[in-house]
């Protein structure tokens, strides 16, 4: 089985590639902007015809799109998150129409909830910011493509390798810089989020790639539990043996203020993929801290 992973060198891409390569008989091709990629491509600027030619040569049985942007200018967010999936779908229809496409979406597409009920795949999408809106546009491009495609709508990510653009990754780095008795400042930690380990996401990707039957167009991938964001700080403090102070300055993000509570219903993923999260949050945070400490010490 030939599997092309776009965005293979990113946080999620690395985890996905690692698990996909463990599949018997799998040949995993990496695609993206990194030097030496098997399929060099930037979906934000790619020409559909040129991409179709490259896909025809690669002849993938499945394509996993992990490419995405979480910040930057409006032009960059729209190009990567909205244009990119649309270009990919157009090229796949031309060059590899039988290939399965697994695209990674975001819980930011849902927007505010009522704070009482977990969101299902039929919950209306009402993103409050440009990131969520561009991710939703990408999801719509995939679900309307007519391809054998599924969007895995990911909730808040955690685990080893969490980037500095995420709260867990940023806080782990700040705790390491502060030392065991230092002070760390954060924004407001009172919102509720649904966290899922990146390794569990990679497992869902692997199951989606190999599922024998057509899949639902959209599946929530999450821990299935709303947790106060402060639990992330508390868990990292325990893992790090931190004795200092964490000070919330109250200056939380606009999105946290607009979306104060979010939890996913993951029943559909359990039925369609036989998937369930396997990593406890405490273990995800301990592994993130261990990876952060090892990476920082190796750079000295």
The residues that bridge with 219 in the sheet, in sequence order, are 152
Non-local (6+) Cβ contacts of 43 within 8 A are 6, 51, 65, 67, 80, 83, 84, 85, 87, 88
Among 85, 31, 36, 34, smallest CA distance to 60 is for 31
Q: Which two tokens stand for residue 211?
A: 């599922």
Q: Is 131 a catalytic residue?
A: yes
Residue 56 CB-half CA count within 13 A = 11
Rounded Cα gap, residues 159 and 157, in angstroms: 7
The burial of 2, by beta-carbon neighbours within 10 Å (0-12 exposed, 13-18 middle, 19 or more buried), is given as middle
Q: Out of 110, 131, 192, 195, pick the active-site residue.
A: 131
Q: How far from chain centre, in Å, is Cα 52?
A: 25
The burial of 287, by beta-carbon neighbours within 10 Å (0-12 exposed, 13-18 middle, 19 or more buried), is given as buried
Non-local (6+) Cβ contacts of 259 within 8 A are 111, 112, 113, 128, 191
Which residues have a catalytic role annotated? Answer: 131
């Amino acid at each position: 089985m030939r599997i092309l992973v776009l965005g293979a060198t990113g946080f999620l891409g690395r985890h996905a590639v690692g698990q996909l390569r463990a599949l018997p008989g799998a040949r995993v091709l990496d695609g993206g902007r990194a030097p030496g990629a098997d399929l060099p491509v930037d979906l934000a600027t790619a020409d559909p015809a040129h991409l179709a030619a490259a896909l025809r040569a690669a002849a993938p049985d499945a394509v996993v799109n992990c490419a995405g942007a979480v910040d930057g200018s409006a032009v960059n967010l729209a190009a990567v998150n909205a244009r990119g999936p649309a270009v990919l779908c157009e090229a796949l229809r031309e060059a590899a129409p039988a290939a399965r496409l697994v695209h990674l979406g975001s819980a930011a597409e849902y927007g505010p909830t009522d704070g009482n009920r977990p969101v299902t795949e039929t919950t209306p999408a009402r993103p409050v910011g440009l990131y969520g809106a561009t991710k939703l546009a990408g999801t719509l491009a995939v679900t309307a493509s007519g391809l054998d495609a599924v969007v895995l709508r990911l909730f808040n990510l955690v685990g080893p390798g969490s980037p500095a653009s995420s709260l867990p990754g940023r806080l782990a780095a700040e705790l390491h810089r502060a030392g065991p008795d230092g002070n760390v400042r954060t924004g407001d930690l009172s919102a509720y989020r649904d966290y899922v380990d990146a390794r569990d996401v990679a497992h869902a990707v692997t199951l989606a790639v190999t599922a024998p039957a057509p899949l639902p167009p959209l599946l929530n991938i999450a821990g299935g539990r709303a947790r106060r964001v402060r639990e992330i700080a508390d868990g990292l403090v325990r893992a790090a043996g931190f004795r200092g102070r964490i000070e919330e300055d109250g200056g939380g993000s606009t999105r946290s203020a607009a979306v104060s509570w979010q939890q996913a219903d993951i029943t559909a993923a359990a039925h369609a993929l036989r998937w369930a999260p396997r990593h406890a949050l405490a273990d995800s945070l301990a592994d993130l801290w261990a990876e952060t400490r090892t990476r920082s010490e190796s750079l000295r």
